[in-house]
Structure 1
Amino acid sequence: MEKTFESEWFIDINGDRIQNANKNLILHVAIDLFSQDGYNAVSIRDITRKVGIKESSLYNHFSNKIEILETIYFNFRMDVANIIPPQEGLDEIVSSMDIERFLIQGLKNFMDHIENPKMEKIWRIIYLEQVRDEKARSIYLNDIVEGMSNFMEIVFKKYFTLGQIQYHDPKMLSVNYQYPLLQMVSLYILKRLDGEKTTEIEQNMMEHIRFFVGIVRV
């Protein structure tokens, strides 16, 4: 496994870029194993054997397996947060593109995030661990479902103010737009994980955007 690609280096839970190659490699290996077998089925020995270090060496970097998982979650949450434009620049973005273009670009940003091999594997971990792990559940419900729905509520308010869409309750607009799309995204991820074709679901996501815009546009 490569240790040198800058784009593949992780951030520690204190927010600092991980400088140690072995610590970074431990995270890569843990993501591979957790995504394949589930967190509970993977031991510290499994991780160190694949990394090529002694078990005692792992504890120079992580106090236990839980800290490894929390670091993975931390990096996932940071990447998810980067999908959403910052609030301070949102007015300029909204005023520079119409509602359909904004939604299409938003979907593209989300798909770019999912198609990062590292993030795609973490999505699988999130799915696998949701029933067992409250933190995985919280990330999906709060960071993804609620976080993105709240963001879209703000976006729809702005587009109504600009006169581009008809007035409806922004929260309901967000729910009706975001929830079907998230369901399709989940299906897209599962199909990719199973090695199935995703052409139809990708087309459905674009059709959903066009259908929604056709209903709300002035």
Structure 2
Amino acid sequence: METIHEVGSFLDTSGVVIHNRNKNSILHVAIDLFSQSGFNAVSIRDITREVGIKESSLYNHFKSKAVILETIYYNFRMDIAKIIPPLGSLDAIVSSMNIDVFLTQGFQNFLEHIQNPKMEKIWRIIYLEQVRDQEARAIYLNDIVDGICDCMAIVFEKYIALKQIQPHDPRMLSVSYQYPLFQMANIYVLRRLDGQGTTDVEQMMLAHIHFFLSMVRVK
């Protein structure tokens, strides 16, 4: 397996930027290894061998392998939060762009997130660990599915008030819009992880956005 020692800093679980080079390297290598083999199959020795440090040195930075995974999850949650508009800013955002632009921009934000090599690998970790790890399930169900659907229900309610879309139940609009995109996003992630093309998936996601708009836009 090719090991990629990426550059870039992570946050610790209190939200503080990690400046220590070895600590960042441990996280990069752990993401690479966990995404390939799963958390349980990777040992501390595997991680330190790839980083090029002694096993004892790792414990200067992390108390356990579980804390490494917790830190990875925290950084993923922070990145997911960036693609969900802050609730306090929604009025200004919605009033500044029509529904077509809002949904298309949201799609582009997702692509930027998932095309980050670090985030791609963490998506795979989330998939691998969902059965074993309650925290991985919580991230997918709460941060991703519920977090995005809750936000979009508010967004659709605001666009209904602006008379840009038809007055249907905002929650049902959110579910009808997002659930197909979640499934297509899963396919997109798995295709990229396997080195396969994703152009057709991107086109289908855009087609879904346009189809949805054609069904709900005020004529």
Please tell me the TM-score bracket, short chain as reference.
Answer: over 0.9
**Which residue of 1 is the match for residue 87 of structure 2?**
87
Aligned partner letter, 1:204: M
**Which residue of 1 is the match for residue 23 of structure 2?**
23
**Which residue of 1 is the match for residue 208 of structure 2?**
208
Alignment of 1:43-82 (within 5 A): 43-82=43-82
Q: Distance in 1 between matches of 2:192 and 2:186?
A: 10
Q: Distance in 2 between matches of 1:85 and 1:173?
A: 18
**Which residue of 1 is the match for residue 100 of structure 2?**
100
- The offset of 1:2, in angstroms, is 5.2
Q: Distance in 1 between matches of 2:206 and 2:162?
A: 24
Q: Secondary structure at the match of 1:144?
A: helix
Which structure 2 segments of 5+ residues have no match?
none
**Which residue of 2 is the match for residue 40 of structure 1?**
40
Q: Secondary structure at the match of 1:9?
A: coil
- The offset of 1:72, in angstroms, is 0.1
- The offset of 1:50, in angstroms, is 0.4
Alignment of 1:106-117 (within 5 A): 106-117=106-117
Matched, 1:134 2:160: no
Q: Distance in 1 between matches of 2:34 and 2:9?
A: 18
Aligned partner letter, 2:13: I
**Which residue of 2 is the match for residue 178 of structure 1?**
178
Q: Distance in 2 between matches of 1:85 and 1:169?
A: 21
- The offset of 1:86, in angstroms, is 1.3
* Aligned-residue CA RMSD (Å): 0.9
**Which residue of 2 is the match for residue 10 of structure 1?**
10
Q: Deviations over 1:39-90 (max 9, x none)?
A: 0000000000000000000000000000000000000000000111112221
Q: Deviations over 1:152-193 (max 9, x none)?
A: 000000000001000000010000000000100000000111
**Which residue of 1 is the match for residue 190 of structure 2?**
190
Contact 2:87–2:151 under 8 Å retained in 1: no
Q: Deviations over 1:137-158 (max 9, x none)?
A: 0000000001000000000000
Q: Distance in 1 between matches of 2:20 and 2:139?
A: 27
**Which residue of 2 is the match for residue 165 of structure 1?**
165
Contact 2:149–2:174 under 8 Å retained in 1: yes
Q: Secondary structure at the match of 2:192?
A: helix
- The offset of 1:212, in angstroms, is 0.2
- The offset of 1:97, in angstroms, is 1.1
Q: Distance in 1 between matches of 2:136 and 2:96?
A: 36
Which structure 1 segments of 5+ residues have no match?
none
TM-score by length of 2: 0.96
Aligned partner letter, 2:114: I
TM-score by length of 1: 0.97
